[in-house]
Amino acid sequence: MTYTRIAGTGAYLPEKVVTNQDLEKTMDTSDEWIRERTGIRRRHIAADGETCSDMAIAAAYKAMEMAGIEASDIDLIIVGTVTPDKIFPSTACIVQRRLGIHGCPALDIQAACSGFVYALDLANRFIQSGSAKNALIVGSEMLSRITNWEDRTTAVLFGDGAGAAILQPSDEPGVISTHIHSDGQYEDLLQVPSGIALGYDAVCAEKAFIQMNGNAVFRRAVATLDSIARETLAGNGIDKHDIDWLIPHQANLRIISAAAKKLDLSMDRVVVTVDDHANTSSASIPLALDTAVRDGRIQRGQLLLFEAFGAGFTWGSALIRF
Ligand code: ACO
């Protein structure tokens, strides 16, 4: 049987850092409120003119370097994003052109904060079927462009960045299992209610921004991350204590802590980057993964659990022997 292994990881964060203290100067909020409710201390914000594909490419080159491959080796590109460069072509096709490669399949996945886990699930199927040997998967987001900087209830939560991974075939797992789900009935709880059918911000400026029922999203996120973890462990007959590292979507430290508590995992086995990156949607898991791989916490052979939850709602997990 062919399995999928993560051969390399990479990340990119825009240079500009906006701290909670910076936000205190422009809106009615405080560092204390933001840290207590979310764990966030700062976020990276893209420069004017910087694009989703710019960030994706920067992260991709780092992942390629770690995997020891060239752009010409890539035979599948999947980009998870809710902030593509254009309506079409896909950001994945733009990345493909800018990497100077031609012909391989390239597509975007729009699964909000679960985009990277969805991309991993799909690329895993390509690799297991023998259709790809060097898959590039990316989560890249410019949430600052769909954030209403006058709305303190959302503006303090989000940031920009990209994370990437190169996936290759392997005789041993690798990706042990992936689990993805969605339920569209929760559309109204977390959305940017703007677009082709509804019209863009010419109709109503605030509609082009993230709108969220924070309390309802919080409750649902905690319950769903618990159920996806149980599904993943039960499906593989693995005990929760066997997990070396939990790498959850980085939305809020309280959501992450609740997920860790339910798994009986101490926080020193949870990769947390939400304090430095804020919520970067589909980029948050690969950014956290790359951070802990490069600082030496995550070692080859360890058991990793990725958990994601986002707008849709979408949710998913991946159990990985790194
Ligand atoms: N600064 C200061 N005060 C604020 C701010 C702010 N930035 N934002 C809201 N407040 C005020 C509110 O107006 C309210 O004041 P009031 O009591 O006078 O009405 C008070 O703080 C409490 O507001 P709540 O919304 O009840 O605060 P809560 O404890 O629920 O925290 C939060 C809000 C942090 C958004 C929380 O609900 C949450 O984390 N939700 C999860 C949503 C999330 O992370 N979404 C990200 C996208 S989804 C995802 O990635 C999974």
Mean pLDDT of the chain: 96
pLDDT value of position 204: 60
Q: What percent of the chain has pLDDT over 90?
A: 94
Preceding omega of 169 cis (within 30 degrees of 0): no
CA dihedral 91, 96, 98, 100 (to 10 degrees): -170
Query: Does the structural domain 3-171 have CATH classification 3.40.190.10?
Result: no
Please give the distance of CA 233 from its chain centroid, rounded to a whole number.
21
Q: Is the pLDDT of residue 271 over 80?
A: yes
Distance between alpha carbon 92 and the CA centroid of its chain, in Å?
Answer: 16
Give the residue, out of 153, 306, 309, with the most ligand 1 atoms within 8 A of its beta carbon, to mutate for a pocket test. 153
Q: What is the mean pLDDT of residues 281-298?
A: 98
Q: Mean pLDDT over residues 169-180, rounded?
A: 96
pLDDT, position 201: 64
Output the pLDDT for position 200: 75
- Which atom of ligand 1 has the smallest separation from the CA of 218? 41
Selection from 241, 58, 213, 34 nearest residue 140 by Cα = 58
The minimum-distance atom of ligand 1 relative to the CA of 210 is 47
Q: Which residue has the higher pLDDT, 195 or 129?
A: 129
Helix axes 253-262, 31-38, angle to 10 degrees: 20
Does 279 participate in catalysis according to the annotation? yes
22-80 residue pLDDT tens: 999 999 999 999 999 999 999 999 999 999 999 999 999 999 999 999 999 999 999 99
**Whether residue 198 has pLDDT greater than 90:** no
Neighbours of 226 (CB within 10 A): 16
Q: Please choose, from the candidates 186, 191, 189, the residue with its C-alpha nearest in 3D space to the C-alpha of residue 213.
A: 189
104 counts as catalytic: no
CA distance 281 to 310: 8
Cα gap 223→169, rounded to integer Å: 34
Measured between alpha carbons, how far is 117 from 285 in angstroms, rounded to an integer? 8
**What are the C-alpha distances in Å from 163 to residues 13, 14, 15, 151, 247?**
9, 12, 15, 27, 13
Residues lining ligand 1, Cβ inside 6 A? 29, 33-34, 37-38, 113, 152-153, 156-157, 190, 212, 214-215, 217-218, 221, 249, 251-252, 279, 309-310
Atom number, ligand 1, closest to the C-alpha of residue 254:
39
Q: Is the pLDDT confidence value at 104 over 80? A: yes
Task: Evaluate whether 3-171 and 176-321 have a shared fold.
Answer: yes
Question: Measured in angstroms, how far is the CA atom of residue 34 from the centroid of ligand 1?
Answer: 9
3-state secondary structure of 259: helix
What pLDDT, on a 0 to 100 scale, did the predictor assign at position 187? 95
Indicate the domain borders of the chain.
Answer: 3-171, 176-321
What does the pLDDT read at residue 90?
98
For residue 226, the model assigns a pLDDT of: 94
Q: Residue 202 and residue 209: Cα distance in Å, rounded?
A: 13
pLDDT surpasses 60 at 174: yes
Mean pLDDT of 122-138: 98
Average pLDDT over residues 2-29: 97
206, pLDDT greater than 70: no
**Mean pLDDT of all residues in 223-247:** 96
What pLDDT is attached to residue 7?
98
Please state which architecture CATH assigns to domain 176-321: 3-Layer(aba) Sandwich (3.40)
3-state secondary structure of 72: helix
Say if residues 121 and 318 touch (Cβ distance below 8 Å): yes
Report the share of the chain in percent with pLDDT over 70. 98
Clarify whether 179 is annotated catalytic. no
Q: Which of 113, 124, 134, 252 is catalytic?
A: 113
Report the pLDDT value the prediction gives residue 199, as an integer from 0 to 100. Answer: 78
Nearest residue (by CA) to ligand 1, atom 7, is 152
How many A from CA of 107 to the centre of ligand 1?
A: 34
Q: Write the burial class of residue 100 (CB in 10 Å: 0-12 exposed, 13-18 middle, 19+ buried).
A: exposed
Given this model, what pLDDT does residue 14 score? 98
Give the strand pairing for 135-142 and 160-170: antiparallel
- 83-92 pLDDT, tens digit per residue, is 999 999 999 9
Binned at pLDDT 50, 70 and 90, residue 208 comes out as: confident
Query: What's the pLDDT score for residue 197?
Result: 83
Separation of 214 CA from ligand 1 center, angstroms? 6
Q: Which atom of ligand 1 is nearest to the CA of 113?
A: 50
Which pLDDT belongs to residue 31? 98
Stated length of the chain: 322
Angle at 147 between CA 120 and CA 14, to 5 degrees: 60
With 70 as the cut, is the pLDDT of residue 205 above it? Answer: no
Q: Residues 20, 93, 134, 249: which is the catalytic one?
A: 249
Quick check: 203 pLDDT over 80?
Answer: no
- What is the best residue among 23, 252, 280 to mutate for testing ligand 1's pocket, by most ligand atoms within 8 Å of CB? 252
Residue 134, pLDDT score: 98
